[in-house]
Structure 1
Amino acid sequence: MKRFGVIIPSSNTTVEAEFNNILSGYASLHVGRIRLRNVNVGELDRFADDVSAEAEKLSDAGIDVLGLACTSGSFVRGSRQYEELERLMTEISSVPSISTSGAVLRSLKQLGCRRIALVTPYTQDVTKLEERLLTDNGFEVVSTRYASIVDNLVIGRVREEEVSRMVLESGWRDADCVFISCTNLRTFGILHALENELGIPVISSNSATLWDMARRAGLKSFRPVLGRLFTMI
């Protein structure tokens, strides 16, 4: 069985629940936390300063792959921040390492998507930074829907039905993929149904992160029902 190391914000209540359920029988989950209570530019900027310490501690667990499961925390300093974080984590842990922002970009490229409908729980300023991440990396954001939530615990309480409603109201008809951002939004129970309803790929921060980690860990038989992305490991 593989060992997955994941770094998450201290207030994240979703990653462990979603990953543990899906990874059962394939990998064990080992988690480090960095202090973050509010999803705003100031706290997100400080978040990145503590990544190296958590990566070093998780490496002591003999992990096979390491993921930084925080979307906004891996793009707040710019559209190439994810690359710097992935290099840092790989150097410290000596195992393949990914960030959520990097995983999202790789997922979209793997799916052949270019026109993105973006759905986030963030405020407008954080969402604008994410739009820049996507456009600077070759994608077109054709529509955006954001919820203006700052408190990360509140984000973790958003029901999947509400996330689905946001997607359906996102202007997705002009897109060739929907991306639901934030690792603290619950999405694993709705991705497959949304893809069937919309007829285009639907990925979330957590599905992209899990897909990229499984791929790096060599879990070729890992096929959870989380949309067409997981047919491409």
Structure 2
Amino acid sequence: MTALGFLYPGHSGEDDYPRIEQLLGSDVRLDLVHTDIGEDAHRVDALRAMGSRERLAAGMAQLRLTGAETVVWACTSGSFVHGWDGARDQVRALAQVAGMPASSTSFAFVHAAQEIGVRRVAVGATYPEDVAGLFADFLRAGGLEVTAVRPSGIITAAEVGTWGEKEVLALARAADGSGAQAVLLPDTALHTAAFLPRLEKELGKPVLTANQVTVWEGLRLADRRVNAPRLGTLFTREPIVQV
């Protein structure tokens, strides 16, 4: 049994995790601990506070009791708002507190794009324009080319959590284009696990979503590879290399 740990802020799209655990169909356990979200706002100051060392350490004290082997900070905006270097420092501090390999959803997106062999990506963000732009900057710092960014202007994770398949598909379609090899949907409050096959079928290309890449990152840290095609291209056995 491989036990993966996740620190998830608040309560919005967390039910993606038991769904993903079921779809993995193997000896993998996903342990999720909710951290204090503080102010639910897609605003830079609130997002930086959400991912503070103190809040992550408090969550880690509980997660350590589960027997998890790795930990991922399951929040995209609560990591990339610190910039590449700041997000790296955040993960290093988390690893020190946890005493185990650690990462965050922001880095998971970069690693996942590398895994499937894509460099040009489009972003469909639930965030306001300024926050979406910071995610694009983070991806560029990770060596990716961002061909388009489509913000949605949503302020709270609670509102994002109400979105269903119709809204998710519309966001992905709106973001696609400009020669992108993959579309990225960066918000762990957004339910996407049930929609991945349809997303990829309709767009005709890989789609990377926040909770999907977060779980994949936990597996990567544990040196595990799981074949689960219903979770998209990322979870096929062989990387898809596009030229």
Same fold, TM-score > 0.5, yes or no: yes
Select which of 26, 29, 45 maps to 1:27.
29
**What's the offset of the Cα at 1:28?**
4.1
Is residue 217 from structure 1 mapped to residue 219 from structure 2 by the alignment? Answer: no
Is residue 47 from structure 1 mapped to residue 46 from structure 2 by the alignment? Answer: no
Between the two proteins, the alignment pairs up a number of residues equal to 231
2: CA distance between counterparts of 1:22 and 1:166? 21
Is residue 66 from structure 1 mapped to residue 71 from structure 2 by the alignment? Answer: yes
Alignment of 1:35-184 (within 5 A): 35-36=37-38, 37-49=40-52, 50-172=55-177, 174-184=179-189
- Normalising by structure 1, we get a TM-score of 0.92
State percent identity of aligned pairs: 29
The answer to whether the Cα contact below 8 Å between 1:2 and 1:26 also exists between their aligned partners in 2 is yes
Segments of structure 1 that go 5 or more residues without pairing to the other structure are none
2: CA distance between counterparts of 1:112 and 1:220? 16
Aligned-residue RMSD, C-alpha: 1.8
The answer to whether the Cα contact below 8 Å between 1:22 and 1:224 also exists between their aligned partners in 2 is no
2:241 corresponds to: none
Rate the CA distance shift 1:30–1:169 in 2: closer, same or farther, 3 A. Answer: closer
Q: 2:109 is paired with a residue of what secondary structure?
A: helix
2: CA distance between counterparts of 1:119 and 1:163? 9
**What's the offset of the Cα at 1:88?**
1.4
Is residue 230 from structure 1 mapped to residue 219 from structure 2 by the alignment? Answer: no
2: CA distance between counterparts of 1:128 and 1:9? 21
2: CA distance between counterparts of 1:160 and 1:108? 23
2:200 corresponds to: 195
Q: Deviations over 1:84-108 (max 9, x none)?
A: 1221121111222120001111001
**What's the offset of the Cα at 1:158?**
1.1
2: CA distance between counterparts of 1:137 and 1:221? 25
Segments of structure 2 that go 5 or more residues without pairing to the other structure are 239-243
- Normalising by structure 2, we get a TM-score of 0.88
Q: 2:12 is paired with a residue of what secondary structure?
A: coil
The answer to whether the Cα contact below 8 Å between 2:123 and 2:150 also exists between their aligned partners in 1 is yes
Give 1:35's aligned amino acid: I
2: CA distance between counterparts of 1:146 and 1:202? 17
1: CA distance between counterparts of 2:176 and 2:220? 31
